[in-house]
Structure 1
Amino acid sequence: MAWIQLSSPHSHNRVTTDQVMRQVVIATLPGIATLTWFFGPGILVNLILTISSCLLAEALVLKLRNRPLTVLKDNSALVTGILIGCCLPASTPWWIPVLGGSFALLVGKQLFGGLGQNPFNPAMAAYAFLLISFPVQISIWPAPATPLSDTSWLNSLAGSDALTGATALDAWRNKGLLMAEEFWQADGYLSSQMVTAWASVASAWLVGGLYLIWQRIINWQLPLTFLATLFIAGSFVWGFNPSHQIPPWLHLAASSAVFAAFFILTDPVSGATSLKGKVFFAIGCGLLVISIRTWGSYPDGVAFSVLLMNFAAPALDYYTRPRVYGQKQARKGLASKEKS
Structure 2
Amino acid sequence: MGVYEALQIIVPSAIFFAAPLIFTALGGVFSERSGVVNIGLEGLMVIGAFTSVVFNLTFADRFGELTPWLSLLVAMVVGAIFSLLHAVASITFRADQVVSGVAINFLAIGLSLFLVKKMYGKGQTDQIQVGFDKMDIPVLSHIPVIGPLFFANGYIPSYIAIALAFIVWYILFKTPFGLRLRAVGEHPMAADTMGINVTKMRYIAVMISGALGGIGGGVYATIISRDFSHATISGHGFMALAAMIFGKWHPLGAMGAALFFGVAQSLSIVGQAIPFLKNVPTVYLLIAPYVLTILALAGFIGRADAPKALGTPYVKGKR
With the length of structure 1 as denominator, give the TM-score of the two structures: 0.28
TM-score, L = length of structure 2: 0.30
Greater relative CO (CA pairs within 8 A, separation 6+): 2
Q: Which has the higher helix share?
A: 2
Q: Which has the larger radius of gyration?
A: 1
